[in-house]
Amino acid sequence: MSTLNYTESPLAPEKAAYRHKIPAGDFWIHKITAGQSVRIVDLEGNQAVDTIFYNAGDFAEYYSAQATIRGQRCIYLTTGTKIISSEGNVMLEITADTCGRHDTLGGACACESNTVRYGHDTKYMHACRQNFLMGLASWPGAACHLNKRDIPANINFFMNVPVTPEGGLMFEDGVSAGGKYVELKAAMDVVCLISNCPQLNNPCNGWNPTPVEVLVWD
Amino acid sequence: MPLLVPPAPSGTTFTTTRPAGPAPVPPAEIPPERLLYEETLPGGAGWSWSLRRHLTLRLTALENGANVSLICFNRHDLVDRYNMADTLKGQHTAKLTAGYILVSDMGRAMLSITGDTLGWHDAISGHDNAGIVRQKWGERSYQAARNEWFQNSRDHFLMELGKHGLDRRDLVANVNFFSKVTADDEGVMHYVPDHAKAGDFIDLRAEMDLLVILTTCHHPLDTAESYSPKKVKLQLWRSDPPGPGDWCRKYRPENERAFFNSEVLYI
């Protein structure tokens, strides 16, 4: 295991302006205004938190996994990582991280991709992109109709998906644990869409999806 | 017609057995009776095409250091499109070469890599844009330089997307053929300059009817001293449809199930 980068946050949970527990397998969509900080807490450990950010005023500007890793020349996300949009703008910056590494290449599970990965008997199981679609369909602030077109490559907070020097993509045991968190400060008004991964086929979470908590500070 | 039933669920591990022996080697010279179309793209160009199922698109680097940035869509359902993550995690790879397939976000095999002289094509670094080009090489406008102006992949992607009724929402993560980027133990990305040599080629067989959009602009991490996108030859040829024992279909159990998901489109 290479170096992990740990940085604690000075923000106190009791001073948060907003707190919400996302149940296992559920979605959450919420606006974070410029200057606010959002923390995601992995309450029980190794829970994949699949996350997309949109420009709150223009959903056609969205989180870009490729622009983000290219911008920092590193495939992992951690403290100091600037979250870059499809337009090349900084959306947020990771300001604290007690997990040390997060994935953005592995993407989100979907009913259809589950048929490829695990077999067609998994097609009707709940999946992250079902959550994303529900989140997009329920968001009242969008100026246009949102659908699968608006689901780009996402972040998987608390997941460890190393790329080997030979170009292999591995799924390692989680580097996270109960109580670990990641915190981001918004550089623009964004809408944060989370699917708290319901995946029951992947050993990363021990086949046991668990709740996570989100906190927002002004 | 035999009943189509889903292939067996298996093979989710990294150590899945691959077909024995090397990848089939496609003909270096495409037989004239199979060659349907040929075009040379200058460096810095954009191109889009309706690619019919089971035809093969051959891309050939005509100069050292060529790059082709590519995205593709289901021709009949443009919301069904190339998905980087599903392609990579389904096959446990961060690079693309012979045997691998490009997978859509509906779990369908879109393109199979049936031939490759290079062994590594970049799937993670994205495409360049006006800002990247300006930062590296400055600016050269059309007004000042006419066809010698500096172009970039993002602008070409947006123009070609627009021709097919698509827009920024559809500009998904892309592949960069002919380019190599590695990641070390710390995750730091390393671009390999001049990876492709003149004459290197890759064969991409369509497993469903596709809209293919590509550009011949620089790789976004290209370290070339001057702006100098390279020429690429495009050829369409009539390849054999994949049989039950096709090498790409059998490369991984995941591929077989993705092939099935494409084939049910044609019932």
| pLDDT band, residue B9 (cuts 50/70/90) | confident
Distances, alpha carbon A189 to alpha carbons A49, A89, B96, B254, in Å: 21, 12, 37, 40
> What is the mean pLDDT of the segment spanning B177-196?
97
How far is Cα B214 from Cα B202, in angstroms, rounded to an integer? 14
How far is the alpha carbon of A86 from chain B, nearest alpha carbon, in Å?
A: 8
B66 is a domain residue: yes
Q: Does B21 touch chain A (CB under 8 A)?
A: no
CB burial readout B223-244, b (16+ within 10 A) else e? eeeebebbbbbbbbbebeebee
- pTM (2 d.p.): 0.96
pLDDT in tens, A98-128: 999 999 999 999 999 999 999 999 999 999 9
B29 is a domain residue: no
A176-180 contacts, C-beta under 8 A, 24 or more apart: A176/A42, A176/A45, A176/A46, A176/A47, A176/A99, A177/A42, A177/A45, A177/A46, A178/A42, A178/A43, A178/A44, A178/A45, A179/A41, A179/A42, A179/A43, A179/A45, A179/A98, A180/A41, A180/A42, A180/A45, A180/A98, A180/A99
Length of chain B: 267
Q: Which structural domain, as residue segments, surrounds residue B88? A: 40-266
| pLDDT band, residue A143 (cuts 50/70/90) | low
Asked whether the predicted pLDDT for residue B11 surpasses 60, the reply is no
B22 is a domain residue: no
Given this model, what pLDDT does residue A37 score?
Answer: 98
B10: which chain A residues are within 8 Å (Cβ-Cβ)?
119
How far is Cα A113 from Cα B261, in angstroms, rounded to an integer? 10
Compare CB distances from A66 to B89, B126, B187 and report the shortest one's residue. Answer: B126
Cβ contact, residue pair B186, A201, below 8 Å? no
pLDDT in tens, A60-94: 999 999 999 999 999 999 999 999 999 999 999 99
B24 is a domain residue: no
How far is Cα B265 from Cα B177, in angstroms, rounded to an integer? 27
Number of domains in chain B: 1
Given this model, what pLDDT does residue B16 score?
Answer: 65
| Residues in Cβ contact with B225 at an 8 Å cutoff, skipping those fewer than 6 apart | none
Name the token pair of A64.
Answer: 């870009």
Q: Provide ipTM, 2 decimals.
A: 0.95
B159 is a domain residue: yes
Cβ contact, residue pair A74, B189, below 8 Å? yes
How far is the alpha carbon of A217 from chain B, nearest alpha carbon, in Å?
A: 30
Cβ contact, residue pair B14, A170, below 8 Å? yes
Per DSSP, what are the bridge partners of residue B84? none
How far is the alpha carbon of A137 from chain B, nearest alpha carbon, in Å?
A: 16
How far is Cα A106 from Cα B32, in angstroms, rounded to an integer? 42
B234 is a domain residue: yes
SS3 A143: coil
pLDDT in tens, B134-155: 999 999 999 999 999 999 999 9
Question: Residue B239: which of B23, B109, B99, B56 has the closest Cα?
Answer: B56
pLDDT in tens, A9-42: 999 999 999 999 999 999 999 999 999 999 999 9
Could you say which DSSP state residue A149 is in?
A: G
B173 is a domain residue: yes
Given this model, what pLDDT does residue B24 score?
Answer: 86
Asked whether the predicted pLDDT for residue A49 surpasses 70, the reply is yes
Cβ contact, residue pair A116, B257, below 8 Å? yes
How far is Cα B172 from Cα A217, in angstroms, rounded to an integer? 32
Judged on CB neighbours under 10 Å (0-12, 13-18, 19+), A205 is buried
Q: What percent of chain B has pLDDT over 90?
A: 91
| pLDDT band, residue A171 (cuts 50/70/90) | confident
Question: Residue B66: which of B206, B201, B226 has the closest Cα?
Answer: B201
B12 is a domain residue: no
How far is Cα B203 from Cα B241, in angstroms, rounded to an integer? 14
Nearest CA in chain A to B86: A113
